[in-house]
A and B are shown apart, each in its own frame.
Chain A
Amino acid sequence: MSAGVSTEFISPGPQSFNTTPIIDGVDWFTKPVLVAALSVVVIVWFYWGASRKAAVVPSKLQFAGELGYNFVRNSIARDAIGSHDYMKYVPYLCGLFYFILLNNVAGTIPLIQFPTFSHIGWAYVAAIMSWAIYNGVGIKKKGLWGYFKHQTMPAGVPVWLMPLMIPIEFISNILVRPVSLSLRLFANMFAGHILLLVFVTGGDYMLRESGSIALGGVGIITLLMGLAIAGLELFVQCIQAYIFVVLTAQYIGSAIADEH
């Protein structure tokens, strides 16, 4: 808000997410691109540093790296895919988890304060990637027809009900899954960030530009509420990264499962 120029409150909206190119003339290089690139650099630096001098008695950095890796490996990948063939998918799941996590948390980190996945295109790409992988490994394991049968024939349903159930199974497994993966991530990041913007710009307006003592008091409360929302956001950002990867792992697990 430009102080003193306008006394009208301009509410934040989807237009608040329009990012301008950082360097003039390079249209694709916007804030989300920068944040995503930075997150990759940070993750690579962290894991490279953690694994560079691997020792039996781990250093602090190696210990942190193992902790982070084991979390995805044991409590996401192994639990969802099963202890037989989960190792193949750990690199993807681990990379995906920390990429989404860092890009989400970027919405709270001071000076960056932009969650990459509040632009839906990023969420689409992440979901399409997971979708391609779990369908791909399912088709590879069972063949096209076998996989298709596996994904559309619900177990335990009597034969006479099958024709009614097959479309539900097909739509929910093939269509709703990738859409819900991307929409959940995008909507949480978008809604959280816009809520924060409303509280902060609204509180700032009431405190500094409304010219009323009473509204100024409300503005202080609003700003404090904004702080609480920021805390809630941090929680949501972590949960959403976790949910995305858990579901990807479960979909992979169900695609390669022997029976339903």
Chain B
Amino acid sequence: MSQHEDPKPTPNTAGDGWRVLSYLIGGILVYGGIGFGLDRWLGTQFLLPVGIVLGAGLTILLLNFRYRQRP
């Protein structure tokens, strides 16, 4: 093959952005879903928003732990 190889490939940051987004959606889905379920079960109304905020917060914490590890 007559191509020159790129000596040092650059990391793909576009993909990282989408992964962060999918983490956020995941966190909100899990804890928002738990809140929604508890709301239905207990007949309350405040647990869904609490769950969503908690999920988003935990995801940000998770992302912080995860991406801080990178060299």
Contacts and interface: CB of A to CB of B under 8 A. Distances in A.
- Are A and B co-members of a single complex? yes
Interface of A: 56-58, 66, 70, 74-76, 78-80, 83, 154-158, 161, 164-165, 167-169, 171-173, 175-177, 180, 243, 246-247, 249-250, 260
Contacts, number: 87
Nearest to A82: B9
A156 B68 CA distance: 8
B21 A180 contact: yes
Leading 4 A-B pairs by shortest Cβ distance: A172-B26, A250-B15, A171-B26, A156-B65
A171 B29 contact: yes
Contact of A172 (B27, B65, B69): B27
Contacts of A78: 9
Contacts of B58: 164-165, 168
Interface string B27-40: 10111000000000
Contacts of A156: 65-66, 68-69
The dominant DSSP class at the A interface is helix
Interface residues of B, number: 31
Given A57-B2, A79-B10, 15 more contacts: A70-B3, A74-B6, A75-B6, A79-B9, A156-B66, A161-B65, A168-B26, A168-B55, A171-B29, A172-B26, A173-B26, A243-B14, A246-B14, A247-B19, A250-B12
A246 B2 contact: no
Contact of B30 (A66, A157, A171, A243): A171
A142 to B, nearest CB: 19
A83 B9 CA distance: 9
